[in-house]
Chain A
């Protein structure tokens, strides 16, 4: 009889838990899942401007249209390049900073606080500040490079097709490096220091320490951080929109900016929904890999 009673208590507890999370689930369904589902459906229908009403089924019309849309293809390519470069820079520079701040040195606390500044600066302020710094005629970056003798004439960082996207990448990486650094630093502090001592006793080098202790210690959190940064960076809108608006000549056009223009400037809501669906699929790939990895690890 005893085990039966225990089971019924458990059942009643889990029922209670389900009841408690139901309002939250419903809310999430309404504000997240419903718009998502509607967005996907919208990409298969035609719709009049300024109307919520779907007119008729369009099948894959908008997706086929997008395949022939050079700006869309460019925006996807740019988004992938932008995300890959920015996340790579964020991770490796963030890791280097975390390793540095994990060492014992005077004023370490101050540096740990200062490193957070780019992360807390609002996106719009960061974009405007970097825009001024990149100014082709009076920007501080050109002035410094000129004084150091690296350049002989001003570079039009945001106005040249060959540099605009890369210039924004620098700003994006600069802004998010602190997040990666702090997350990795917190993880590094949990690594057992005794293991490093053991490597030293066995005659191991710093490289051995990094490869056999640090890297396995931060592996899981690194994957999570890279996944989050990939999603955030791919969906980033503010920096490009403020700094280049996707120009010049669409050279820095990325998917979120193109989606915005298609929906809110050209009022092609269904086509914009199709771009959104494709972006969702692209961003889902690393997320699926992450889930797969977690399952494997478990």
Chain B
């Protein structure tokens, strides 16, 4: 009996193993390649498809934290259904924590939704896998032209083909404490690096930090990159062959590293930033330990909700470095998947969502902004606290659209900045090590 049982288990395992190795995804992978060619043809035929044909579109959307956001999406879906009775859009709500893995898993299993919203820079890796359809084939050029061009930076391939549209956007801008500025005798918010150092000295004299950014966890580069860009530097660039090469060992990169470190060494920024996440920075700011912070614009709503902060704070436009102004500013993204059998209908829905005002409503509801050129003229954008953030979007930059950047920043760049702040690396060593590490990425 023992032998029989063992045999049974072994057989089951082997069968399961083979079943797994030749999983349906593989078959789908193979058939998808063949199908994709016929699909393209089919898609074109779809355009002429019978208007009565019932189509169901799946739209993966990250939300659920703000009920009002979901309402905008649901209202848009209902209105679209009224206008297009043969097309039903089914939203798939996912929280932020699972948004990336859920979509990744669906790509692995070959069960992608027709449309998906993705966070910040997630689309880069999928772009290289050929997961998305060229968006210009399915929405109008007028719609594409409405957006701030920088919003497309991470959605373009080496040929410049665009594979998605900007979703809600966010800028990381400057918030300062008016009371501490007054106390320190600083009459205007620093507009250059030199003015920043000057203000830092004055703030130090009253025992406060001028400025705090997060330098912990996965957030380090979010707050370091603007210094690099302001110095005129870049992490990497494509060479003439389209290959990503490091720019970390340039004089500009060194200037940024030296300046960042100087802010810490001179006591203008707390040396504890390596243990401070965005929440700790906000706490330090509201506790009156630090006079300025760089933060995402969602914190404006948080600060407005704090009675004890009434009248004590304001926002301002970011400062310029030797290479000019630069802030971190990028939108989340939305895409039509290449695997969708109904790309035409998906494009129709996105066009409807943007054209009928649901996009702007969604962004306003979220407390962020839409990445369109004319958003700066809307009434919402005139809010005195939001206005500098929205205006700064003109200098908006995003992380490099390189699929290995995530690995680079997690394993090398962020730990490198932290080691430099801790005094374990000189700025020169930091820049050289980063250039070397970038080159070693597979």
Contact = CB atoms under 8 A, between A and B. Distances in A.
A137 B270 contact: yes
Interface string A259-273: 001001111000000
Contact of B125 (A38, A49, A156, A247): A49
A51 B407 contact: no
B271 interface: yes
Contacts of A264: 100-101, 104
A244 B289 contact: no
Interface string B1-36: 100010011001100110011010110010000000
A52 B275 contact: no
B270 A250 contact: no
Interface stretch (B280-288, B318-326, B362-370): B280-288
A160 B218 contact: no
Contact of A249 (B21, B126, B418): B418
B289 A51 contact: no
B306 interface: no
A49 B283 CA distance: 40
Interface in A32-66: 33-34, 37-38, 41, 49-54
Contact of B411 (A33, A71, A134, A154): A71
Contacts of A14: 1
Contacts of A224: none
Nearest to B441: A266
Contact of B29 (A15, A51, A71, A261): A51
Contact of A18 (B1, B107, B411, B415): B1
A54 B26 CA distance: 9
A135 interface: yes
A261 B100 CA distance: 13
B12 A29 contact: yes
B422 interface: yes
Interface string A193-228: 000000000000000000000000000000000000
Nearest to B425: A249
B333 interface: no
Nearest to A45: B21
A157 interface: yes
B289 to A, nearest CB: 5
B108 A37 contact: no
B201 interface: no
B372 interface: no
Contact of B275 (A37, A49, A51, A156): A156
Contact of B108 (A18, A22, A52): A52
A191 interface: no
Contacts of A267: 104, 125
Nearest to B273: A159
B41 to A, nearest CB: 25
Interface residues of A, number: 44
B272 interface: yes
B129 interface: yes
Nearest to B275: A159
A136 interface: yes
Given A34-B16, A52-B25, A245-B217, A135 B283 contact: yes
Interface in A227-264: 244-245, 247-250, 261, 264
Nearest to A250: B415
Nearest to B289: A137
B275 A53 contact: no
A273 B25 CA distance: 20
A265 B284 contact: no
A37 B1 CA distance: 25
A34 B10 CA distance: 11
Interface in A118-138: 134-138
A161 interface: yes
Given A50-B108, A154-B272, A248-B275, A138 B25 contact: no
Interface in B400-419: 404, 406-407, 410-411, 414-416, 418-419
A135 B279 CA distance: 10
B29 A53 contact: yes
Residue among A33, A158, A249, A266 facing the most chain B CB atoms (10 A cut-off): A249
B415 A38 contact: no
B26 A53 contact: yes
A157 B410 contact: no
A30 B9 CA distance: 10
B274 A248 contact: yes
Nearest to B2: A18
Contacts of A170: none
B280 A29 contact: no
Interface in A151-179: 154, 156-161, 164
A15 B1 contact: yes
A281 interface: no
A27 to B, nearest CB: 10
Nearest to B218: A245
Contacts of B426: none
A25 interface: yes
A64 B217 CA distance: 28
14 contacts: A26-B12, A51-B25, A53-B21, A134-B275, A136-B280, A137-B276, A137-B283, A159-B272, A161-B422, A245-B218, A248-B274, A248-B418, A261-B411, A267-B104
